[in-house]
A = this chain, B = another copy of it.
Amino acid sequence: MKNIVVLISGGGTNLQSIIDGCKNGTIHGRITGVISSSRHAYGLTRAKNAGIETKVISKYKYPIDADREAALLDALNEFQADIIVLAGYLSILPKEIIAAYRNRIVNIHPSLIPSFCGDGFYGLHVHEKVLEYGAKVSGATVHFVDEGTDTGPIILQKSVPVMDDDTPEALQQRVLVVEHELLPRAVELLCTDCIKVDGRKVILKEEGEGK
- A→B interface (CB under 8 Å): 112-116, 131-137, 139, 141, 153-159, 164, 199-204
Contact = CB atoms under 8 A, between A and B. Distances in A.
**Copies of this protein, total:** 2
Given A159-B159, A164-B204, A114 B135 contact: yes
Contacts of A139: 137, 159
Nearest to A116: B114
Nearest to A153: B134
Contacts of A201: 131, 134, 164
A131 to B, nearest CB: 8
Nearest to A202: B134
Contact of A133 (B134, B158, B164, B200): B200
A132 B164 contact: no
Query: Which 5 interchain pairs have the tightest Cβ spacing?
Result: A159-B159, A136-B157, A134-B200, A137-B157, A134-B201
